Amino acid sequence: MHRAQAAASLAELEKLAVKALHTHLPAARELRRTIHSDPHVGGDERATAKLVKDVLDLPTDDVAEGAVLRIGDSGPVIAVRAELDALPITEESGAEWASRRPGVAHLCGHDVHIAALVAVTQTLQDVSAPASLVAVFQPREEVIPSGAPDVCAAPAFTRHGIDAVVGVHVQPQLRAGAVSVGAGAINASVDDFEITVTGKPAHGGYPHLGRDPVVASAALIQSLQHLVSRRSNPLEPAVVTVGTIAGGSSVNQVAPSVSLHGTVRSLDERQREELLGWLDEAAQGVAAAHGCRATVSVRRGEPVLRNDPDLAARISTRLAAHGMAEGAVFRSCGADDFAYYAESFPSVMIFAGVDGNGGPGLHHPQFLPPDRTVDFVARIMLHSFFALADGGPSRRTHERSLQHEEEGFPYSRE
């Protein structure tokens, strides 16, 4: 078949797929509501995975608390990821189909992602696609240890010979209907830390007899802010946040110790290591200056998420051809374990703009994208699939990009 004929054939198949998708979307919206009303946190998603498997009624492989399945046996093998887990936050949306589980809610859009991927999977059952879909319903995106490394290492996933991985995430900071398919670093690495400042307890009226870890901790919190404002290159985004502080049990005692918990984020792996080194240095130095001592422990999280530039360009072109306007490239110090797929396979994370308008954002108790968001995310997944089916993904580009990063030249760093 000539290339022009093949392109025409692919375009016709894509049109058929879009028509088929529309027939599955009403049920997908209802599925989204069902999932939303019965959320499960990371590590407890088996009920959600079972619901998905029951709806699809296809052979699946279990991976941890999630599931992997394949549609098709020819052409490039393209994986699409959706996350199963909810957050340990109480919902305040007031919707009739709000979470029925106290203290747990889908406030990050994962319910939308799941329903959209189910609709796309059903669609590609209906048409003779020129590529194979591996649908990944992944557990534990919101917790550490996260589920992506388990999927990346599982034979149930790797045996398919994955050529590319696609993820789509709702993003209320983008205007509704816009998409962002940026190349290079788009999400930060994340590491959580605990610092324990130990002093010497004493009576609150005789502080000179003790060594005050509360005062030392107050100074340390201020000093940690200088790691970004004065130690880090201002052209390289980074975050050091102290999220909790706890210590003391009496108003008239110099406490024996104080604990600080927080997070460190960076869009560059070299800077990531520097920040963690500076964090330890600051903790030890400030504590010592106050006659105290500090111990620092770090729980490593996701690496920097880097989109493959060749795949990003192809998907962006395809989405634009189908009327999906590209907004400003969205990069943030948020983190996503999709980064683990990007370390091993050519991968692209796409951000889908939803109704934000200055309202509740991700993880807010009132965040609730409208039902039509399922349609939007499903269309992005479907057209991205066809973009990568058209000619096949380029491993060479991905390998070259990773090589440049190892040599100290991160690609498309903006």
Tens of pLDDT along 221-259? 999 999 999 999 999 999 999 999 999 999 999 999 999
Alpha-carbon dihedral angle through residues 180, 15, 119, 87, given to the nearest 10 degrees: 10
Query: 87: which residues sit within 8 A by CB, 6+ positions away?
Result: 39, 41, 104, 105, 106, 107, 108, 142, 363
User: Which of 96 and 10 is assigned the larger pLDDT?
Assistant: 96
Mean pLDDT of 374-385: 98
Pick from 190, 302, 186, 172: which is nearest to 241 by CA?
190
Provide the pLDDT for residue 22. 98
Q: What is each CA distance from 37 to 24, 93, 274, 325, in whole angstroms?
A: 20, 12, 43, 32
* Range list for CATH 3.40.630.10 in the chain: 3-187+304-406
E strands in 338-394: 347-353
Cis ω before 237 (30° cut-off from 0) = no
Tens of pLDDT along 269-295? 999 999 999 999 999 999 999 999 999
Provide the pLDDT for residue 8. 55
| Tokens 């007031």 -> residue | 94
CATH number of 189-300: 3.30.70.360
Read off the pLDDT band of 325 (50, 70, 90).
confident
Average pLDDT, the chain: 92
Alpha-carbon distance 389 to 379, whole Å? Answer: 15
Q: Which helix (H) or strand (E) holds 216?
A: helix 213-226
Query: 358: which residues sit within 8 A by CB, 6+ positions away?
Result: none
Helix boundaries (H) for 38-126: 46-56, 110-126
The CATH fold assigned to 3-187+304-406 is Aminopeptidase (3.40.630)
Read off the pLDDT band of 395 (50, 70, 90).
low
Provide the pLDDT for residue 2. 47
* Range list for CATH 3.30.70.360 in the chain: 189-300
Provide the pLDDT for residue 390. 81
Conformational region of residue 241, where left means phi above 0, alpha means psi within -120 to 50, and beta covers everything else: beta
Tens of pLDDT along 136-193? 999 999 998 899 999 999 999 999 999 999 999 999 999 999 999 999 999 999 999 9
Residue 74 three-state SS: coil
Pick from 130, 118, 137: which is nearest to 57 by CA?
118
Span of 41-45, 127-131, 305-309 with lowest mean pLDDT = 127-131
Q: Report phi then psi at 261, rounded to 5.
A: -125, 140
Query: 231: which residues sit within 8 A by CB, 6+ positions away?
Result: 274, 278
- What tokens appear for 62 in the block? 């279990």
Strand partners, 350: 168
